[in-house]
Amino acid sequence: MPVCKEDLSPGSELDIIFVTGDAYVDHPSFGTALLARILENQGYRVGIIAQPDWRSTRDFTRLGRPRLAFFVTAGNMDSMVANYTVAGKPRKDDAYSPGGLGGRRPDRATLVYCTRIREAFKQTDIVIGGIEASLRRFAHYDYWSNSLRRSMLIDSKADLLVYGMAERSVVEIARQLSAGRRAGELQHIPGTLWRCRAEDAQSIQVIADTWPSLIQDDAAGLPEARLLPRKIQNLPGWEDLKDPRLGKNHYSQSFLAQHRNTDALNADILTEAYGPWLVVQNPPALPLSASEFDALYTLPFTRTFHPDYLEAGGVPAIEEVRFSLVSSRGCFGGCSFCALTFHQGRRIQARSGDSLVREAELLTRLPGFKGYIHDVGGPTANFRRPACEKQRRVGVCKDRQCLHPRLCNQLVVDHQDYLGVLRRLRSLEGIKKVFIRSGIRFDYLLGDSNGEFLTELCAHHVSGKLKVAPEHISPRALAAMGKPRPEVFQQFAHAFKNTNQRLGKNQFMVPYFISSHPGTTLADALELALYFRDQGGTPEQVQDFYPTPGTLATCMYYTGIDPRTGREIYVSRSYQEKAMQRALLQFRDPKNHGKVRQALETLGRTDLIGQGKQCLVPGAFKSPPGKPGADQKRHQNPKSRHRSSENRRNTPGGRGRSNHRTSK
């Protein structure tokens, strides 16, 4: 088992030390544990410093100086999302901390950890990664300060940045470091960012020309793939991005180039200039073959949290995954508000059915298992294969989406492999029920001419309620979100209802919705409210749009431009309007009536205020004069309203986890 904190015996030396913002949970769903087990399996001696006290160097020196490097991550979640709500309020809990209590990780944890390591060990190599670093690998808009920030490779003063799913990358980095090279010298490893002086840029061209030979060993499991030299694209530099007149146009162009280059088989090499320095992104690491993916789940995980956390009640995040199975990674859904394509890529990687069955059999022997597998899925549960045959050979299309604005005519919709896995799992001894909770992409499901999957889904794999994510009902809003047209969701809702009636089951859908997404106006929010009025019910799940790095929607939010078209797009920025949009989506809640009336007056729809069946809220209301200047100021720096709380939060009694979710 990887060494944690004081488990190390005196005089021992570790090869690699991970520093993470999460409590240590030895489970394959936790990135630090997975990478540590992989390196341990390769013969490296690995230590883990989990949730160190960042106010001094003491915790960072507990395991001594590593022989090779420190690997630093903020954890499974972005530390700013973990610490703050979209309104800038400190969170009270953190599912990745002992007892679910917040305050165990600092803001911008990756940067803080690197600073402390440099104070303690000035000459030791530092490699950063994880979701926080991955989504901040280039210059990015930072919602919490309402400003642009530089590449995290620059700001952290780390030697190398690993982005995406890091299994291949960390093993190669460790191998090169063991051979005597320094992390800052590694320029050829897929899935990494490195830096060089502008006058040394000729080395980038050498890498581009020789790329096929650099990755041919990793491509052994992809015999159909075409390995070609790569081009070099120079993104707008830091000075261009900060230009007060054209900076947002440059940022939009830069993000589009990054968005187009996320596939291992066809991504170009990207560079970004910071004065005399260049940050260079190599193409992503090649996807894992099924056998390589399977092998990760044979490693000797204990599948529980470190015993140090027993007194605090354990680590809540394990409960979400303890009795679940990860069957795939990657997503070709293309939702604008989701960072998955930026981190995991659009190409689907799937484990074999045999691997999933073996893990399910293991789950039946774990303490506390009661016969229920809580989930079998990935970012999108019913994606189990690449979207088309072309992706296997040359990678995903750079300028076309698989599902939006409609299903691509090259898309292969096939649930047979997934159905086969589910049937095998539910037939195992000791398993009473196998649920699917990670989300179903309903437009893909409807593209399957064989209705077999929907029937078996309703018959065997819904725990009373099925979570789906239509997100909105306005065509304008859905186009900005990259989601299917409203009639597609209505068609699925009708099919789901009819299937359950035919099976004699009383099951329901729980739809997710987003308010204030770029491209969504107050009138669009009203359109959705009227849909709820006419259909009945109130949405249980409404989430305010949260601008986080790495998403197309955040680029829209910052620039007011849709990078896909180059056209201006409406963005709701004031706190007042965002509150009205959310209130409209839950207009039946009495505490929202004031804001709903205010929204209806703003839209000139006072006919919807009153006692009639067509009305959204009762009575009459005269909203007070707004103060857009104050609202805008609060919005521009969401933390400014909580400075005293922010200062108090930087103690062990601080804040925690987000509801931030991914696309389905």
- State the number of CA atoms in the 13 A half-sphere of 520 facing the CB: 33
Reported as type and span, the H/E element at residue 326 is strand 324-326
Three-state secondary-structure class, residue 22: coil
Distances (CA, A) of 262 to 116, 265, 375: 32, 9, 28
Q: What is the largest CA-CA distance in the chain?
A: 79
- Find out whether 285 and 168 touch, Cβ atoms under 8 Å: yes
Long-range contact pairs involving 361-368 (C-beta distance under 8 Å, separation at least 24):
361/428, 363/323, 363/325, 364/428, 364/429, 364/430, 364/431, 366/303, 366/322, 366/323, 368/322
Show the tokens assigned to 653.
């009694």
- Find out whether 268 and 283 touch, Cβ atoms under 8 Å: yes
Annotated binding-site members: 331, 335, 338
Distances (CA, A) of 287 to 188, 290, 385, 435: 17, 9, 12, 27
- State the number of CA atoms in the 13 A half-sphere of 260 facing the CB: 16
Single out the residue of 257, 277, 252, 276 nearest to residue 267, CA to CA: 257
Annotated binding-site members for [4Fe-4S] cluster: 331, 335, 338
Question: What's the rounded Cα separation, in Å, for the pair 251 and 267?
Answer: 19
- Find out whether 620 and 68 touch, Cβ atoms under 8 Å: no
Looking at the DSSP bridge assignments, the partners of residue 90 are: 84
